[in-house]
Structure 1
């Protein structure tokens, strides 16, 4: 990663570390919409997503001293939002779909994928997936995490993440075909 990107908004971050409320508000304004979208993709309920975002900013500002520019501020904050979203879902007892005890076979051939897929149907299809599948799809396809990162975030093995992703993708294709 270009090191200059790591220091995006460094003056605001440094002022915020010193407790400057105006700098914190500027950072909040820069990132609140993006972080809300991240949380909303996982939470699906406006009020829950708003709560997660607010809690995430509070945690981020309280822990700014631990931010060391090893990533961008935005990606550091995004990790906090995703972790808080997942923790909130766990509190609500929305389970990740366990599949290790099930047998499955995935056949990926070109004829399984429709030639033209409307993005609106894909978004609708993702919302119709079981919550565990939604999490995997959102983390892998939308947020861009790899299976090792997903395994750490969700507390599952990387192979479970991969197999859940493949099952979720297969289920999503079935749903999209019916839309």
Structure 2
């Protein structure tokens, strides 16, 4: 199957709005890799990634009738997948010990650049971050959310978001320096 063109993609979305299961399957297959890439940034294990992708597509198919065709579909889909991953993360946070970080001192960060590291290396190194740090790093640095927005999504203070981001960056720096 050839990837749909913009016109074919638009028709695919219209058919999904009409409830066509065949076209939902086609849309799923077409955007599966894109959704997996997004979910992978927020989830630690492959089962969680698959759950986020599948839950995200269920939400997409239930709400596709509300999709504004004047806006890019990929951006709408991305938002749903990110929010699905955040919802899952929020549920996990309820079961973890959360320490109030309002009074914690931020970790001082050095200013240096490693020119030999690429995005794939950073993604591998991110697997070593605690879940909350990884989530906040992705939301802030990759997806461009503000600390206030992240705080609202995760039900934590904005100051905690800043501290977790600082700690994530510091841990990544240490991992980069230690990498062979």
Q: In structure 2, do the counterparts of structure 1 residues 33 and 42 end up closer, same or farther at CA, with 3 Å as the change threshold?
A: same
CA distance in 2, matches of 1:94, 1:72: 37
CA distance in 1, matches of 2:173, 2:11: 46
Unaligned stretches of 5+ in structure 1? 1-5
User: Where does 1:79-118 land on structure 2 (aligned, <5 Å)?
Assistant: 79-92=79-92, 93=95, 98-104=100-106, 106-109=108-111, 113-118=112-117
Partner of 1:164: 164
Partner of 1:136: 136
Q: Secondary structure at the match of 2:127?
A: helix
TM-score of the aligned structures, taking structure 1 as reference length: 0.77
Q: In structure 2, do the counterparts of structure 1 residues 53 and 45 end up closer, same or farther at CA, with 3 Å as the change threshold?
A: same
Partner of 2:3: none
Give me the CA root mean square deviation: 2.8
Q: In structure 2, do the counterparts of structure 1 residues 27 and 88 end up closer, same or farther at CA, with 3 Å as the change threshold?
A: same
Unaligned stretches of 5+ in structure 2? 1-5
Would you say the 8 A contact 2:39–2:82 is kept in 1?
yes
Would you say the 8 A contact 1:39–1:82 is kept in 2?
yes
Q: In structure 2, do the counterparts of structure 1 residues 105 and 91 end up closer, same or farther at CA, with 3 Å as the change threshold?
A: closer
Report how many aligned residue pairs link the two structures. 170
CA distance in 2, matches of 1:153, 1:91: 11
More deviation, 119-128/94-103:
94-103
Partner of 1:53: 53
CA distance in 2, matches of 1:138, 1:126: 10
The alpha carbon displacement at 1:57 in A equals 0.7
CA distance in 1, matches of 2:90, 2:177: 31
